[in-house]
């Protein structure tokens, strides 16, 4: 078993209570294709598909993927821009029981190569641009099937018989962890647990067939995929509109043209939208809910959403490992603007503890630990890391500091994980530090978060030069040359004589950050 399952008695209970339904994630399409075949499932710049058409396309894509050699249980690293083709391929993989790794469009040779090797991937499915052809070339030889998303999703008829549908307990997909250690961790989500998180999110957000959801964030990310995201909307029989990019130019037009009722943004983008809407005096007619999550939303910005956009703001605090919190539609402004919501499910267990894992007093900030029917019990193929990332009784150590109010709502007050949250994109500090130390002119390095008015945080690499005269530009070029996603390249590179150390000899990042903040 490449990941830790839920204990038998708990799994049994989740099944008995109907929390885990036993269905596969792709089953939802078949139901709607029968009950409302003409309903529009998805729209993008290339056109639109009804539920019946989407279901047909998924069958055809599944047949094609089978024909090129993929089999149930295989892993496929999938990278795509937002579009209909991604939906078709994602559902085809889920239907077959081939497990997608939800790579992001920004990932490059280093990340994709790692995902392929770590999972012994059978396929790399990519957007087909020159940069991805380059990545494809770098994994050719290790990965048997390499194909563009467009080709995999192309319409077609096939007589190949599909294998039985995967059942609830099986591995459905591998999400990516924001991470805080050297290599990114892969998050094993089963059909049962992921579908539950999607169903409960659809309920909390009151989705139905009239929901029109704009997918503005990169679709493979856990938030727009499942909170409730495109899966929640398709589960409810609504319509997904895929935005090619999250800019006001693209999205405001899509919202007006397609009658979007709901969308999801990271705080950095919400600020951009608010500014653009004010400047253009744009007020959408149809938009009812703007979800904001992925990083802390400033209370003042939260309070501006309704006056400016005429839509209610919903804060979402979640993690690809599981737990997702939402503010509720009947929360008062105080809760809605100053907290990051409460857990989606009554079955979510939340503990707020001190450094010794002892519960803190009510309302006092502490470490957030969580466990429940859709929070993983261990990362994929990472036994050593699991020892530190989970308690012995199966709670996930989120690395977040929170305060819990009397209503159960959580306010995120900080973070202990060594990570930079750059406008919702997570950077594991140690990954970049290890890469920096490979530079012959760098003796030591620490990557820290610097507050930023637009992105919330930016990454700053603080380096100790090894004699010679390295420049910031060279350092950035050196990292880029390692084939990593652009968002991981530090925005700032600074040189110091030496790094401050704690009494036990670790780099004192707090002192370092405090120094740079001044
Ligand atoms: C402060 N920090 C937040 C918030 C996430 C829904 C929404 C977001 C994610 C996500 C997700 C935050 N305020 N509102 O998967 O389904 C930080 C925390 C958290 C980490 C998880 C979803 N919302 N965060 O952001 O796996 O530090 O998931 O532990 O990318 O983002 O990051 P990620």
Quick one: which atom of ligand 1 is closest to the CA of 226?
16
Q: Is the CB of 318 under 6 A from ligand 1?
A: yes
- 450 phi, psi to nearest 5 deg: -115, 130
Quick one: which atom of ligand 1 is closest to the CA of 316?
14
Quick one: which atom of ligand 1 is closest to the CA of 321?
26
Cα 35 to middle of ligand 1, angstroms = 35
Q: Specify the CATH number for the domain of residue 151.
A: 3.40.50.980
Residue 344 lies in a domain: no
Count Cβ atoms below 10 Å from residue 154 Cβ, excluding itself.
14
| pLDDT at position 516 | 80
Residue 6, token pair as written in the block:
């839920």
* From 294, 409, 414, mutation site for ligand 1 pocket: most ligand atoms within 8 A of C-beta: 294
Quick one: which atom of ligand 1 is closest to the CA of 197?
16
Domain endpoint, select from 166, 182, 198: 166
Residue 496 lies in a domain: yes
Nearest CA owner, ligand 1 atom 7: 318
Residue 478 lies in a domain: yes
Q: Is the CB of 174 under 6 A from ligand 1?
A: no
How much is the average pLDDT of 182-210?
Answer: 96
* From 317, 321, 323, mutation site for ligand 1 pocket: most ligand atoms within 8 A of C-beta: 317
Residue 477, token pair as written in the block:
């070029």
pLDDT digits (tens, 9 = 90+) for 224-265: 999 999 999 999 999 999 999 999 999 999 999 999 999 999
* Residue 180 in this model has a pLDDT that exceeds 90: no
Integer CA distances (angstroms), 489 to 297, 422, 441, 484, in order: 24, 11, 18, 8
Domain endpoint, select from 131, 166, 201: 166
* From 293, 369, 399, mutation site for ligand 1 pocket: most ligand atoms within 8 A of C-beta: 293
Q: Give CA angle at 246 (278, 341), nearest 5°.
A: 80
* Residue 518 in this model has a pLDDT that exceeds 70: no
Cα 318 to middle of ligand 1, angstroms = 4
Confidence of residue 515 (pLDDT cuts 50, 70, 90): confident
Whole-angstrom distance, CA of residue 220 vs CA of residue 175: 8
* Number of domains comprising the chain: 2
* Residue 157 in this model has a pLDDT that exceeds 80: no
Cα 426 to middle of ligand 1, angstroms = 9
Cα 382 to middle of ligand 1, angstroms = 21
How much is the average pLDDT of 158-168?
Answer: 92
Q: Is the CB of 326 under 6 A from ligand 1?
A: no
Quick one: which atom of ligand 1 is closest to the CA of 292?
14
Nearest CA owner, ligand 1 atom 31: 294
Nearest CA owner, ligand 1 atom 5: 294
Cα 297 to middle of ligand 1, angstroms = 11
**Location of structure tokens 């400016």:** 308
Nearest CA owner, ligand 1 atom 3: 295
Question: Given its phi and psi angles, is residue 71 left (phi above 0), alpha (psi -120 to 50 degrees) or beta?
Answer: beta
Residue 89 lies in a domain: yes
Q: Is the CB of 375 under 6 A from ligand 1?
A: no
Question: Given its phi and psi angles, is residue 18 left (phi above 0), alpha (psi -120 to 50 degrees) or beta?
Answer: left
| pLDDT at position 500 | 95
Whole-angstrom distance, CA of residue 40 vs CA of residue 239: 6
* Residue 47 in this model has a pLDDT that exceeds 70: yes
Nearest CA owner, ligand 1 atom 28: 319
pLDDT digits (tens, 9 = 90+) for 282-312: 999 999 999 999 999 999 999 999 999 999 9
Q: Specify the CATH number for the domain of residue 460.
A: 3.30.300.30
Q: Is the CB of 420 under 6 A from ligand 1?
A: no
Which domain range does residue 84 map to? Answer: 25-166
Integer CA distances (angstroms), 498 to 30, 48, 107, in order: 61, 58, 32
Whole-angstrom distance, CA of residue 106 vs CA of residue 126: 12
Domain endpoint, select from 131, 149, 166: 166
Q: Is the CB of 294 under 6 A from ligand 1?
A: yes
Residue 381 lies in a domain: no
Quick one: which atom of ligand 1 is closest to the CA of 419?
27
Q: Is the CB of 368 under 6 A from ligand 1?
A: no
Confidence of residue 182 (pLDDT cuts 50, 70, 90): confident
Residue 289 lies in a domain: no
Torsion angle of C-alpha atoms 428, 319, 240, 296, degrees rounded to 10: -80
Residue 132 lies in a domain: yes
Q: Is the CB of 224 under 6 A from ligand 1?
A: no
Integer CA distances (angstroms), 474 to 172, 467, 470, 471, in order: 42, 15, 7, 5
Quick one: which atom of ligand 1 is closest to the CA of 177?
26
Quick one: which atom of ligand 1 is closest to the CA of 341?
14
Cα 295 to middle of ligand 1, angstroms = 6
* Residue 158 in this model has a pLDDT that exceeds 80: no
pLDDT digits (tens, 9 = 90+) for 414-464: 999 999 999 999 999 999 999 999 999 999 999 999 999 999 999 999 999
| pLDDT at position 214 | 99
**Location of structure tokens 């990278």:** 79
| pLDDT at position 445 | 97
Quick one: which atom of ligand 1 is closest to the CA of 425?
30
Nearest CA owner, ligand 1 atom 16: 223
For the chain, first and last CA: distance in Å?
A: 49
Residue 233 lies in a domain: no
Q: Is the CB of 218 under 6 A from ligand 1?
A: no
Cα 296 to middle of ligand 1, angstroms = 9
Cα 16 to middle of ligand 1, angstroms = 30
Nearest CA owner, ligand 1 atom 33: 319
DSSP readout, 441-494? TEEEEEEEEEEETTTEEEEEEEEEE-SS---HHHHHHHHHTTT--GGGS-SEEE
Q: Is the CB of 412 under 6 A from ligand 1?
A: yes
Quick one: which atom of ligand 1 is closest to the CA of 417?
27
pLDDT digits (tens, 9 = 90+) for 55-74: 999 999 999 999 999 999 99
Q: Which long-range contacts (CB under 8 A, 24 or more apart) does 224-227 make?
A: 224/264, 225/102, 226/194, 226/197, 226/198, 226/201, 226/324, 227/197, 227/201, 227/264, 227/291, 227/293, 227/316, 227/318, 227/324, 227/326
Tell me the angle at which helices 51-67 and 84-96 cross, rounded to the nearest 10 degrees. 60
- CB-based contacts of 395, cutoff 8 Å, min separation 6: 349, 351, 369, 370, 371
């Amino acid at each position: 078993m490449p990941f830790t399952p839920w204990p038998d008695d708990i799994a049994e209970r989740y099944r008995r209570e109907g929390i885990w339904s036993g269905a596969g994630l792709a089953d939802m399409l078949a139901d709607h294709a029968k009950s409302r075949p003409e309903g529009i499932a998805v729209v993008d710049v290339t056109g639109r598909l009804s539920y019946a058409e989407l279901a047909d396309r998924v069958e055809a894509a599944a047949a094609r993927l089978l024909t090129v050699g993929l089999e149930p249980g295989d892993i496929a690293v999938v990278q795509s821009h937002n579009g209909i083709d991604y939906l078709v391929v994602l559902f085809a993989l889920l239907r077959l029981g081939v497990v997608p790794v939800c790579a992001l469009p920004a990932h490059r040779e280093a990340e994709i190569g790692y995902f392929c090797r770590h999972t012994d991937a059978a396929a790399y499915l990519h957007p087909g641009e020159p940069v991805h052809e380059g990545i494809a070339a770098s994994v050719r030889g290790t990965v048997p099937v390499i194909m563009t998303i467009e080709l995999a999703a192309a319409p077609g008829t096939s007589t190949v018989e599909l294998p039985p549908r995967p059942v609830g307990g099986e591995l459905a997909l591998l999400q990516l962890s924001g991470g805080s250690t050297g290599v990114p961790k892969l998050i094993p989500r089963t059909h049962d647990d992921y579908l539950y998180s999607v169903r409960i999110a659809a309920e909390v957000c009151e989705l139905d067939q009239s929901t029109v959801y704009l997918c503005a964030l990169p679709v493979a990310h856990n938030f727009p995929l499942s909170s409730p995201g495109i899966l929640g909307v398709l589960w409810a029989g609504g319509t997904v509109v895929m935005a090619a990019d999250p800019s006001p130019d693209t999205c405001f037009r899509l919202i007006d043209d397609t009658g979007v009722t709901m969308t999801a943004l990271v705080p950095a983008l919400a600020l951009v939208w608010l500014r653009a809407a004010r400047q253009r005096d744009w007020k959408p007619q149809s938009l009812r809910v703007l979800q904001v999550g992925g990083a802390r939303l400033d209370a003042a910005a939260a309070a501006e959403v309704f006056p400016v956009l005429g839509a209610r703001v919903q804060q979402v605090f979640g993690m690809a490992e599981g737990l997702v919190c939402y503010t509720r539609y009947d929360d008062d402004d105080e809760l809605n603007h100053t907290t990051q919501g409460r857990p989606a499910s009554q079955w979510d267990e939340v503990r707020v503890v001190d450094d010794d894992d002892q519960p803190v007093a009510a309302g006092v900030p502490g470490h957030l630990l969580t466990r429940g029917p859709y929070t993983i019990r261990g990362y994929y193929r990472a036994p050593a890391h699991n020892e530190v990332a989970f308690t012995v009784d199966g709670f996930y150590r989120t690395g977040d500091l929170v305060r819990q109010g009397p209503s159960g709502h959580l306010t995120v007050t900080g973070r202990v994980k060594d990570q930079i949250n750059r406008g919702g994109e997570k950077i594991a500090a140690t990954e970049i530090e290890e890469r920096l130390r490979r530079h012959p002119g760098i003796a030591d390095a620490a990557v820290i978060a610097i507050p930023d008015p637009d992105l919330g945080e930016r990454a700053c690499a603080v380096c100790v030069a090894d004699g010679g005269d390295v420049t910031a530009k060279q350092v950035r070029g050196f990292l880029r040359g390692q084939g990593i996603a652009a968002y991981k390249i530090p925005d700032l590179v600074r040189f110091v004589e030496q790094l401050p150390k704690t009494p036990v000899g670790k780099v004192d990042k707090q002192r370092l950050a405090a120094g740079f903040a001044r």
